[in-house]
Amino acid sequence: AQTVARAGDGGVSVGGIEVARLAEEFGTPAYFLDEEDFRARCAAWRDAFGPDADVFYAGKAFLSRAVVRWLDEEGLNLDVCSGGELATALSAGMPAERIAFHGNNKTEEEISRAVQVGVGRIVLDSFQEIARVAHIAEGLGKRQRVQIRVTVGVEAHTHEFIATAHEDQKFGIALADGQAAEAVRRALKLDGIELIGIHSHIGSQIFDMAGFEVAARRVVGLLAEVRDEHGIELPEIDLGGGLGIAYTSDDDPREPHEIAKALNEIVGRECEAASLRTPRISVEPGRAIVGPTAFTLYTVGTVKPLEGLRTYVSVDGGMSDNIRTALYDAEYTVALVSRRSDAAPMLVRVVGKHCESGDIVVKDAFLPADVAAGDLIAVPATGAYCRSMASNYNHALRPPVVAVRDGAARVIVRRETEEDLLRLDVG
């Protein structure tokens, strides 16, 4: 939301450029990302956690080579969860030892490549994977640093599809019934892996610190169990990502320094009580870094008032560039940005151009009653999980990502063309 700043007269500008000019130069729909804001958020996380902790940006939120270079320059590490994300990271020069590799079903090819290039850690998600990674690493004559991902049994208060620490879901190994302790036992026996710590990620778009605190407490509990059983103190814990951002004015996000303070306090206290050395903490924010830094710019096409219901405002994109509204019932806001209007606010639903009625970008919003074809409207806070989850549904051409900084704009991911689409169609 911060990235769309009101201009004195007429339209709105971002990073010192009028949006009308951006639309003219780059077309719509398009994502515009404020590079300065992105870097500032990286720095805020880095500084909040300090030199004795590590911040891994979760690349799934949005990843491109420019983003990798910014992360590198700002001193962040990177969490990848597929061979494609790993390839992007490496091709932009991220040092492999600053990469963490995630996923509940990494392929043998992905594991081999990660081990060969020397990623800093692989996060193991199942008993099978403990054996598989150890076997592959041993075959390559390497000893791979790993963490074990556990589920701590916390019900995170977020959408079911993005909550990950309760037990009935696909990620991690349960702390319950001694399963995680058994995973540690097995990992410690294998030569191909070096167990450096325990990982927990409780979910996404979370505002309440209580879930993180319970997770931290339980993870430290496991460290104590491991010390008691094996006489070793695992040196690291990772508490995942998941910090919520403001999509609408109802959301009240925590700041990185609040998270850092709460996590350091709880981990410190629990370790002291268990006479453990405090482990090195890492976190993996994705949305909280990139989400607020971008907005999507659309051009209004048709405006259809439905008597007694609402007005449908159709734009030139839709669920192919933002699936979150359809998938999670996510809430967004929208603003008219190409001109000033004194018309009264009118209840609208902003919809896309796809062939299905669930193709909604903003479910309930107000726009000036004179909104019309050709107007530019912006949906803020679309930096995370929008371009990265974009699809070619109805053979839509995925929009570009344009980075704006100091009055200059440059494309960091270009718009797809029909040629791009047809290149894959070899039948």
Q: Residues comprising the binding site? A: 242, 284-287, 324, 328, 356, 385
| Most distant CA atoms of the chain, gap in Å | 72
State the Cα–Cα distance between residues 297 and 396, nearest whole angstrom. 16
Q: Does 287 bind ligand LLP (CB under 6 A)?
A: yes
Catalytic, 271? Answer: no
Selected binder of ligand LLP within 285, 317, 383, 399 (CB under 6 A): 285
Which span (17-25, 131-139, 197-205, 216-224) binds ligand LLP, by CB under 6 A? 197-205
Strands annotated E in 53-107: 53-58, 77-80, 99-101
Q: If you count DSSP H runs as helices and E runs as strands, how many of each does the chain have, helices first?
A: 12, 21
State the Cα–Cα distance between residues 280 and 282, nearest whole angstrom. 7
Question: Closest distance between ligand LLP and the C-beta of residue 315, in Å?
Answer: 20
338: its two tokens: 């190409």
The number of beta carbons lying within 10 Å of the beta carbon of residue 6 is 11
State the Cα–Cα distance between residues 370 and 368, nearest whole angstrom. 5
Which span (67-75, 238-246, 269-277, 362-370) binds ligand LLP, by CB under 6 A? 238-246
Would you say 312 and 347 are in contact if contact means Cβ atoms under 8 Å apart? no
State the Cα–Cα distance between residues 203 and 215, nearest whole angstrom. 11
Question: Closest distance between ligand LLP and the C-beta of residue 220, in Å?
Answer: 19
Question: Closest distance between ligand LLP and the C-beta of residue 374, in Å?
Answer: 30
Selected binder of ligand LLP within 197, 256, 279, 286 (CB under 6 A): 286
Question: Closest distance between ligand LLP and the C-beta of residue 159, in Å?
Answer: 7
Closer CB to ligand LLP, 312 or 328, in the complex: 328
State the Cα–Cα distance between residues 300 and 306, nearest whole angstrom. 17
Applying CB under 6 A, the site for ligand LLP has a residue count of: 22
Question: Closest distance between ligand LLP and the C-beta of residue 358, in Å?
Answer: 16
Bridge partners of 47, per DSSP, are none
Cis peptide before 305 (omega within 30 of 0): no
Phi, psi of 410 (to 5 degrees): -140, 145
Selected binder of ligand LLP within 13, 77, 204, 293 (CB under 6 A): 204
Phi, psi of 322 (to 5 degrees): -150, 95
Which span (13-21, 90-98, 241-249, 335-343) binds ligand LLP, by CB under 6 A? 241-249
Which span (201-209, 222-230, 251-259, 352-360) binds ligand LLP, by CB under 6 A? 201-209
Q: Does 201 bind ligand LLP (CB under 6 A)?
A: yes
Site for ligand LLP in 91-110 (CB under 6 A): 102
Alpha carbon 338 to chain centroid, angstroms = 29
Please state the residue numbers annotated as binding site for substrate.
287, 324, 328, 356, 385
Bridge partners of 39, per DSSP, are none
Question: Closest distance between ligand LLP and the C-beta of residue 10, in Å?
Answer: 33
Alpha carbon 185 to chain centroid, angstroms = 32
43: its two tokens: 């720095």
State the Cα–Cα distance between residues 111 and 109, nearest whole angstrom. 5
Closer CB to ligand LLP, 264 or 325, in the complex: 325
Closer CB to ligand LLP, 156 or 303, in the complex: 156
Question: Closest distance between ligand LLP and the C-beta of residue 219, in Å?
Answer: 14
Which span (4-12, 235-243, 353-361, 398-406) binds ligand LLP, by CB under 6 A? 235-243
Catalytic residue among 42, 81, 355, 386: 355
Q: Which residues contact 300 (CB under 8 A, 6 or more apart)?
A: 313, 314, 315, 371, 372, 373, 374, 375, 376, 377
Which residues are known to be catalytic? 355
Write out the residues near ligand LLP by the rule CB under 6 A.
58, 60-61, 79, 102, 162, 201, 204-205, 240-243, 284-288, 324, 328, 384-385
